[in-house]
A and B are shown apart, each in its own frame.
Chain A
Amino acid sequence: MSSATQSVNTTSMTQVVKKRRLRPARVRELVVTLLLIPIAFLWIYPFLWMVSAAFKTNNDIFRTGLTLLPQTLEWENFVRAWVQARIGQYFLNTVIIAAGSVSLVLITTSMMGYALGRYDFPGKKTIMAFFIATVFLPAAYTIIPIFDLVSTLGLNGSLLGVILAQSGGAHVIFILLFAGYFGQIPRELEEAAIMDGASFLRVFVQIMLPLSKPIIATTIIMQFISSWNDFLLPLVLTLPRPELRTLSVGMYAFRGEYFTDWAGMAAAATIGIIPVIIVFLFLQRYFIEGLAGAVKQ
């Protein structure tokens, strides 16, 4: 017992006396690593199972038990997912919606955050209060009027309706992050620029925005995750228009039509999920730092 606590206690002294005290930290590392490997494997097991099922035949999926390696590679499943379930089209729709809503949200929240964080103007407190009051607004509260509004505006025939509706949520967290960040920047910086004759807009675009890269990263990542995961809005706004469906809605509709085609659904799910995981693996530094920025600022 006492030796165990001691081993924990001495870990970070390693730099001081490297040779003698290296071992306890290494022992602890080994134990923790060996414990975490099976947990992490189970954590991502659903994805491994999904990819494996995508290559099996419909009969084999639930017959071959726990084996992850398929006996034959059924590329046919992916053809069905691509042609019947139109997953390629839905993937593209989802990318367009995510790109559109991320851009719009970035522009609107950075501009609002700049005005709110750096300047005092009549009505500022009221506007802030209204926005903060909506933080806990459930999505289901607004969905019926949004559906009605998008139909009235005639936007239910294009992806624009979904993009605008996603961007029009009160993104209080992003606004507060931008406001807090811009508020900290010293006044002298823009005063010098204004002396040189730079306009309000130029100060914002050329001086302030480049300084706020960490918040821009956080906003892009959080809004991307939220847009990519969105289901209720695109479901309500695009269900009657199959060519406008997003991945979520398309997959949901595919199951409704071909509910016994397990392998086809697994293939469709694989096409929908794996590219995002790959993108995440390449850009994970930005994902993790971006998300962490929401708390750190």
Chain B
Amino acid sequence: MAIRTAPPPIVTAGRRRPAKPVWQRMVEARWCYLFMLPGMILTGMFTFYPIVASMYFSLLQWSGFTTNATFIGLANYAEVIQDRFFWAAFGRSFLFMFTSVPVKLTLALIIALILNDAALRLSPVFRTLFFIPVVTTTAIIGIVMTFILSPFNGPINLSMLFLGILERPIDFLGEADSALWTVIGVEIWKWLGQPMIYWLAALQTVPPVLYEAAKVDGASVWQQFRNITAPLIKPFAIVIVLITAVGTLKVFALVQTMTGGGPFFATEVMEVYIYRTAFGSAASQTLPRLGYASATAVFFGFTVMALAVIQWLVARRVNRGGVETGGMEG
């Protein structure tokens, strides 16, 4: 193991480089550059250029309708820092992510563990049913959900009244206290199937022989999960958390169609805030402010990316620590 993790001998690299100058290696790799080209052009136009352009736009006062944008330096940022609607939306986006991701991943893992049971013959049917919401169009789901959750004889309120859980119907999406949690709940329902499939894929890599051995030793279900399943699916968990967290950043479709950010901005997450500021909405009669919206987008984007980098560094450190002290647990 020590041999494997040792850094590769520098000699090799040092010996190779003077033999072939960079330009020569570039000529040799011309096919590689050609293969990179189509993807680079597209991402250059629609990912990397927008990253830089956003920073430039954020220094402008610009309504988007006219070409006469005024350069105003960092004035937009000075305003962003004092904008309480911005900070509220900023906090809400993180609240959304830090609530939805852990709940979704935990529930998905529980369902996956239940469905991974070889004795359950209907398992593929349940897997299909739990996965169905994932393939449906988010914006349409958002609209259908406003009916389902309607306080005027919507099916959820009706059944809760019928069962005696409620005395009066709840306006789930119309009240500031419940709206955000309701949207988070629907988001978890909509996307739960995706991490469930990931967990199932991870669980299927655990050899059944290990469980049989554990059963012979009399290990409980929890002990089996802790000592066999958990360590073996841990390498997958990092990828699953990453993919799920990235997906949970994109909640615009659901929030915009379910509440439009209301009531009284109670569900206005960053994407909705930026959309409203940049492209206006029926509710706000104000002119679109592309420059200011860009400043908020840049501020938010860099915070998210900084947090992601920190999280990645921490995860890498923890993983390394785990490898080094690996002998202690066993």
B143 touches A269 (CB 8 A): yes
A291 touches B197 (CB 8 A): yes
Q: How far is the CB of B41 from chain A (nearest CB, A)?
A: 9
B252 touches A296 (CB 8 A): no
B57 touches A121 (CB 8 A): no
Tell me what chain A mostly uses at the interface: helix, strand, loop, or mixed.
helix
A195 CB within 8 Å of chain B? no
* Interface 1/0 per residue, B43-56 and A, CB below 8 Å: 11111111101100
B96 CB within 8 Å of chain A? no
Nearest A residue to B148 via CB reads: A46
Measured as residues with beta carbon below 8 angstroms from the partner, the interface class of chain A is 35 or more
Determine the distance from Cα of A141 to Cα of B212 in the docked complex, in whole angstroms. 51
Nearest A residue to B145 via CB reads: A46
* Interface 1/0 per residue, B220-260 and A, CB below 8 Å: 11000000000000001001101101100110110011000
A145 touches B49 (CB 8 A): yes
Q: Which chain A residues lie closer than 8 Å to B301 at the CB level?
A: 137-138, 140-141
Determine the distance from Cα of A47 to Cα of B190 in the docked complex, in whole angstroms. 12
Q: Which chain A residues lie closer than 8 Å to B246 at the CB level?
A: 135-136
B132 touches A236 (CB 8 A): no
* Interface 1/0 per residue, A177-205 and B, CB below 8 Å: 00000000000000000000000110010
Instruction: Report which residue of A43, A167, A169, A204 has the largest number of chain B beta carbons within 10 angstroms of its beta carbon.
Output: A43
B181 CB within 8 Å of chain A? no
Determine the distance from Cα of A201 to Cα of B37 in the docked complex, in whole angstroms. 14
* Interface 1/0 per residue, B1-28 and A, CB below 8 Å: 0000000000000000000001001100
B274 touches A269 (CB 8 A): no
A138 touches B144 (CB 8 A): no
A33 CB within 8 Å of chain B? yes
B202 touches A295 (CB 8 A): yes
A62 touches B297 (CB 8 A): no
A49 touches B148 (CB 8 A): yes
B271 touches A139 (CB 8 A): yes
Q: Which chain B residues lie closer than 8 Å to A108 at the CB level?
A: 38-39, 42
B279 touches A236 (CB 8 A): yes
Known: A136-B304, A229-B139, A273-B136. 20 other contacts (CB 8 A): A12-B212, A13-B212, A32-B120, A33-B120, A40-B126, A121-B29, A141-B301, A142-B50, A142-B51, A143-B275, A144-B290, A148-B57, A149-B45, A164-B46, A236-B275, A266-B144, A269-B140, A295-B236, A295-B243, A296-B205
Q: Which 8 A-B pairs give the minimum distances between C-beta atoms?
A: A168-B46, A248-B139, A231-B253, A121-B29, A292-B201, A108-B39, A142-B50, A145-B50
Would you mind naming 19 contact pairs between A and B with Cβ atoms under 8 Å apart?
A: A29-B120, A43-B130, A62-B154, A111-B39, A122-B25, A122-B29, A131-B43, A138-B249, A139-B249, A141-B51, A141-B297, A144-B278, A144-B293, A145-B50, A164-B42, A228-B135, A229-B137, A255-B257, A287-B135
Please give the residue numbers on chain A whose beta carbons come within 8 Å of chain B beta carbons, in ascending order: 5, 8-13, 25-26, 28-29, 32-33, 36, 40, 43-47, 49-50, 53, 61-63, 65-66, 94, 104, 107-109, 111-112, 114-116, 119-122, 124, 127, 130-131, 133-149, 164-165, 167-170, 173, 175, 200-201, 204, 225, 228-232, 235-236, 247-249, 251-252, 255-256, 262, 265-266, 269, 272-273, 276-277, 280-281, 284, 287-288, 291-296
